[in-house]
Amino acid sequence: MNSLPPAPTRPRSQALQQRAERFFPGGVNSPVRAFGAVGGAPPFVERAEGAWLIDADGNRYIDYFGSWGPMILGHAFPPVVEAIERAARNSASFGASTAAEADLAERVTVCFPAIEKMRFVSSGTEATMSAIRLARAATGRKIIVKFEGCYHGHADGLLVKAGSGVATFGIPGSAGVPEEIARLTLALPYNDLTAVEAAFAAHPGAIAAVILEPVVGNAGCIAPAPGYLAGLRAVTQREGALLIADEVMTGFRVALGGALELYGVDADLVTLGKIVGGGLPVGVFGGKRAFMDLLAPLGPVYQAGTLSGNPLAMAAGIATVGYLQTHAAEVYPQLEATAKAVTEGVAAEADHAGVPLTLNRVGSMWTWFFTAGPVTDYAQAARSDTAAFGRFHRAMLEQGVWLPPSQFEAAFLSTAHGAQEVATTIDAAKNYFSAVE
């Protein structure tokens, strides 16, 4: 049996964590950062460059979560940094309209034809919350259908069987969400059209919208079954409900036009985030003009945000999306090839060691599930060996490879990841799997 290399020392990170616990619940401002699902102490990041994170103790790590998705071009990508610096010289915020808002919106509509009009907000949670309010207003109905393991932000009605951090911490929903609100959300198994048909039959004329991640990323990466998205589109059109594609994670990631482009489907409303802000806090909800024109000041649906369309975020988004548009022919094949090499290389090492592992991947997002069977919905993902994933995560981190700290979070890479990062990651996995044989 081989032994793993010694773990890096992180005394400064440990001291920073102890200080943080005085101010923040669990010492963090987002629960999954606490490493509660995988064990060990989280490093405190001081800076990042390209595919690498550098912690407060000077240790370097290959980054496979990329700020949870937006860093598709790598950290501190020079055109993005320069765009933010230029914008900051004019002030960080105005609370008034700027030309940059329409500049970014124009790029978004070119990539997402389903978005005829949009609103910028400051987070994915705001985007999905607003899209649902709009869907209820447009249909005059109250019930929302979502899918088990899909996370759409922490708005009250969306924390029902929500995957992501909720799944990581074993929380069935969330304390503080009134039952009256939770009852307006139907959580169905993903990839099961029969369940959707049954829900519409049981609630005739009452379902306002179906919202989903077209590729699940918050129960780990789970792809739609062939025909599933088209089936949802057909059912919602027949029943007069709206289809909301939550592409906060997949937008610009799985294709330039997101999952809607990749799978050739349409949606009434679309939410975006992550990449569209180039790493800064941005969300988007948009869709068909007839629905979007229901928003104030044109219509009766109120939605607002003081920092919506923030000039720094617009600048970062224009630089990022603009680069992806200009270099799409190079970027997406590169991401596909790099992701294929690293994911299949690690899976091969697990197979050689006799460790049950299921690889789910769509483009440059993926999950290694520690289970032998296929994973096509949240119930199957939940049967994974989360303790085994925790051991794997800790061992990889000790060798300088930082994976998402939960079995139920998708991994991502960037154009900055190359042959060196792939080889280092596969070698680290080989060391681990050899040690546990």
Q: What is the pLDDT of residues 52-111, one digit of tens each?
A: 999 999 999 999 999 999 999 999 999 999 999 999 999 999 999 999 999 999 999 999
What residue spans in the chain does CATH classification 3.90.1150.10 cover?
A: 11-64+330-436
Q: Which of 274, 378, 430, 432 is catalytic?
A: 274
Query: Among 13-27, 130-144, 158-172, 273-287, which is the least confidently predicted range?
Result: 158-172
The answer to whether domain 11-64+330-436 has CATH 3.90.1150.10 is yes
Across the range 399-428, mean pLDDT stands at 97
- Given pLDDT bands bounded at 50, 70 and 90, which one contains residue 179? confident
With a cut of 80, say whether residue 3 has pLDDT above it: no
Across the range 381-388, mean pLDDT stands at 96
For 288-347, what is each residue's pLDDT tens digit?
A: 999 999 999 999 999 999 999 999 999 999 999 999 999 999 999 999 999 999 999 999
For 150-172, what is each residue's pLDDT tens digit?
A: 999 877 777 665 444 444 334 44
The torsion defined by the Cα of 12, 14, 18 and 20, in degrees rounded to 10, comes to 70
Give first-to-last CA distance, the chain, whole Å. 7
- 297 prior amide bond cis, ω within 30: yes
What residue spans in the chain does CATH classification 3.40.640.10 cover?
A: 78-326
The reply to whether 151 belongs to the active site is yes
Angle at 95 between CA 115 and CA 313, to 5 degrees: 55
The reply to whether 64 belongs to the active site is no
Question: Which residues are within 8 A (CB) of 400 and not within 5 positions of it... i.e. 6 or more apart?
Answer: 8, 59, 60, 61, 62, 424, 428
More confident residue, 222 or 37: 222
DSSP label at residue 206: T
Q: Are 229 and 263 in contact (CB under 8 A)?
A: yes
Instruction: Give the chain's mean pLDDT.
Output: 93
With a cut of 90, say whether residue 180 has pLDDT above it: no
With a cut of 80, say whether residue 370 has pLDDT above it: yes
The confidence score (pLDDT) of residue 403 equals: 98
For 397-413, what is each residue's pLDDT tens digit?
A: 999 999 999 999 999 99
Q: Are 287 and 115 in contact (CB under 8 A)?
A: yes
The reply to whether 246 belongs to the active site is yes
Rounded Cα–Cα distance for residues 376 and 192 (Å): 10
Q: Which of 63, 246, 268, 377 is catalytic?
A: 246
Q: Which residues pair with 358 in a beta bridge?
A: 369
Question: Which residues are within 8 A (CB) of 223 and not within 5 positions of it... i.e. 6 or more apart?
Answer: 215, 216, 360, 362
- Given pLDDT bands bounded at 50, 70 and 90, which one contains residue 421? very high
Query: Among 13-22, 89-98, 151-160, 207-216, which is the least confidently predicted range?
Result: 151-160
Rounded Cα–Cα distance for residues 25 and 301 (Å): 35
With a cut of 70, say whether residue 19 has pLDDT above it: yes
What would the CATH number be for the domain defined by 78-326?
A: 3.40.640.10
- Given pLDDT bands bounded at 50, 70 and 90, which one contains residue 195? very high
Query: pTM of this prediction?
Result: 0.93
Q: Which residues pair with 283 in a beta bridge?
A: 121
The torsion defined by the Cα of 292, 293, 295 and 299, in degrees rounded to 10, comes to -150
